[in-house]
Amino acid sequence: MSLRDALRIPATEITDEAVYRDRRRLIAALAASTALALPGCAEADPPAPPRAPITPQQARSGFRTDETLTRIEDVTSYNNFYEFGTGKADPSKARKTLRTSPWTIAVSGECAKPGVLDQTDLLKGLTPEERVYRLRCVEGWSMVIPWLGVPLAAVLKRFQPTSKAKYVAFTTLADPRQMPGLVYRSIDWPYREGLRIDEAMHPLTLLATGLYGKPLPQQNGAPLRLVVPWKYGFKSIKSIVEIRFVEKMPPTAWNDLQPDEYGFFSNVNPNVDHPRWSQKTERRIAGTASKLFAERIPTRLFNGYAEQVAGMYKGMDLRKWF
Ligand code: MTE
């Protein structure tokens, strides 16, 4: 069975890998060969490849941005996944040790149909779609990533949450045999995150299964991770093994560790600084920009998704509920 079959993504839904990876290389190679005949052209940067235009519906929904993508080599080599170490390059070790199949997810709590399901059953009948989102880390860097995934709401509804389900809690696998970073108590493992139910059900909230048209690499949180684009990246919990519908705001890993640094909501907000990092600007890692010296751009409220999500926080003091 091919990977595409395994993910049940129709060919029409997948942009060929060449569009992402090889076009630039091809153009560069062509430019180089032309340069032999046309001296002086060798330095020219190849023109950016054309991308499918964004439909007005996609723009309105925030499902796709046409900002320059972060290169796949950066998306998969500059990561935060503390279960594998605290260095940006450490998570790529996950490729060797994290077994992502079989993989079960336990769903419990305030719902009519709790269960323990294999990942394929969890996603049965749902077709992963592409979403091109900005990802803003609280450390002050950002990326633009073409994810594949299903709306989290479509998955959660299958378990029929009750009216008592006010929040959804998520837990990452914590297996020291697969995750060497667990020996360091940098976090009180397992990594835990949570969303209010309306945030979890919001159309932008994605349960990601892949990126750049391929299954999710281990270092990015295979086989299933959250992507909540208007919140700081740490809310986008990786390698999920448990989902619980709960009545009270659930404890979360970073909030437990430093409650005055990491709030439960953690909506991207340039007006509320983290004690160690200004949140006014961000280092955008995209295209061929250097990772460490990339251009600084202004950070936008709700990471630029205010039109879609601000209504959920009406009347809330965002300084208090940071
Ligand atoms: N999930 C788990 N389980 N462990 C982690 O350390 N790091 C978070 C988030 N999810 C983290 C996690 C942080 S701080 C960020 S910025 C994003 O993952 C980074 O996602 P990426 O490595 O795919 O860019």
Binding residues for Mo-molybdopterin: 79, 82-83, 137, 172, 220, 225, 236-238
Nearest CA owner, ligand 1 atom 19: 80
Residue nearest to atom 22 of ligand 1 (CA): 79
How confident is the model over 266-290, as a mean pLDDT?
93
Question: Would you state the pLDDT for residue 46?
Answer: 47
In the predicted model, what is the mean pLDDT of the chain? 88
Alpha-helical (H) ranges within 127-226 are 152-157, 197-200
Cα 52 to Cα 19, 64, 70, 118, 212: the distances in Å are: 10, 11, 17, 35, 14
230 CA distance to ligand 1 middle (Å): 15
Domains of the chain, with CATH numbers?
Answer: 3-313 (3.90.420.10)
With pLDDT > 90 as the criterion, what percentage of the chain qualifies?
77
Q: Which atom of ligand 1 is nearest to the CA of 191?
A: 3
Residue 40 CA, ligand 1 centroid: distance in Å: 44
**d(Cα 194, Cα 253) in Å, to the nearest integer?**
9
Nearest CA to ligand 1 atom 3: 238
Q: What is the pLDDT of residues 90-102, one digit of tens each?
A: 999 999 999 999 9
Q: What is the pLDDT of residues 282-295, one digit of tens each?
A: 999 999 888 888 99
232: CA distance to ligand 1 center in Å?
10
Hey, whose CA ends up nearest to atom 17 of ligand 1? 233
Question: Which pLDDT does position 12 carry in this prediction?
Answer: 38
State the pLDDT at residue 50. Answer: 58
User: What is the rounded distance in angstroms from the CA atom of residue 214 to the CA atom of residue 52?
Assistant: 18
The ligand 1 atom nearest the CA atom of 239 = 3
Which of 68-82, 121-135, 276-290 is least confident? 276-290
User: What is the per-residue DSSP string for 19-51?
Assistant: HHTHHHHHHHHHHHHHHHHSTT-TTSPPPPPP-
Q: pLDDT tens digit string along 198-230?
A: 999 999 999 999 999 999 999 999 999 999 999
According to the model, what pLDDT value does residue 293 have? Answer: 87
Between β-strands 167-172 and 115-118, what pairing exists: parallel, antiparallel or unpaired?
unpaired
Residue 135 has pLDDT above 70, yes or no: yes
What gap in Å lies between CA 9 and CA 20, rounded to an integer?
17
Q: Which atom of ligand 1 is nearest to the CA of 254?
A: 14
Q: Does 42 score more than 70 pLDDT?
A: no
Q: Amino acid letter at 289? A: A
3-state secondary structure of 65: coil
Please say if the pLDDT value at position 16 is more than 90. no
Answering whether pTM is above 0.75, one says yes
State how far the Cα of 151 lies from the Cα of 12, in Å rounded to an integer.
19
Mean pLDDT is lowest, of 53-57, 134-138, 256-260, for: 53-57
Q: Which residues line ligand 1 (CB under 6 A)?
A: 79-83, 135, 137, 172, 191, 220-221, 233-234, 236-239
Half-sphere exposure in the Cβ direction for 290 (13 Å, CA): 2
Query: Which atom of ligand 1 is least distant from the CA of 172?
Result: 3
pLDDT (mean) for 53-64: 91
Given the CA of residue 75, which atom of ligand 1 is nearest to it?
24
| Residue from 238, 279, 303 whose mutation best tests the ligand 1 pocket (most atoms within 8 A of CB) | 238
Q: How many CB atoms lie within 10 A of CB 176?
A: 11
Q: Is the distance from CB of 103 to CB of 119 less than 8 angstroms?
A: yes
pLDDT beyond 60 at 43: no
Per residue in 180-198, pLDDT (tens digit) is 999 999 899 999 999 999 9
